[in-house]
Amino acid sequence: MRTVGMPDLSWAGSTQLGPDLAGAVREIRHRHQHIKVVGSLNLVQTLLREKLFDRLDLWVHPIVLGVGKKVFDAGAVPTNLTLLAPPVAGPTGTVYLRYGLTQGIPGTGDMSAPDRGAGHDT
């Protein structure tokens, strides 16, 4: 994990993690039942790559920028996820998805199958 300058660690219990980010997160997971990450795409990518998460909450916004940093970068590891709750759509078209980490080798489905989740043909 890199930071420019000294981070503000004024929140109670804040700690700066060292160069072995994955090891530090594993140690924190042994001490705490619930850990939440908001923002910090570099940290999220490390957690995804190392499979150091139990749940992944995604908000899909109806916009295509065409540029920017990717959540699932070239270092992403194939991972099985299970949808934990029905998708929730907001009034502006943003969709909230809650996934859980599932063991096993990822497989793909047949998008032409009737159960593909689309609900209708387009």
Instruction: Please give the Cα distance from 122 to 27 (Å, whole number).
Output: 48
| 94 close to 61: Cβ distance less than 8 angstroms | yes
Distances (CA, A) of 18 to 13, 15, 21, 24: 16, 9, 6, 7
Weakly modelled stretches of the chain, pLDDT under 70: 1-5, 39, 111, 115-122
- The residue written with tokens 């998008």 in the block is 111
For 83-116, what is each residue's pLDDT tens digit?
Answer: 999 999 999 999 999 999 998 888 777 767 776 6
Instruction: Tell me the one-letter amino acid at 61.
Output: H
CATH code of 21-102, in short, is 3.40.430.10
CB atoms within 10 A of CB 53: 19
pLDDT of residue 93: 97
pTM greater than the 0.75 cutoff: no
pLDDT of residue 39: 66
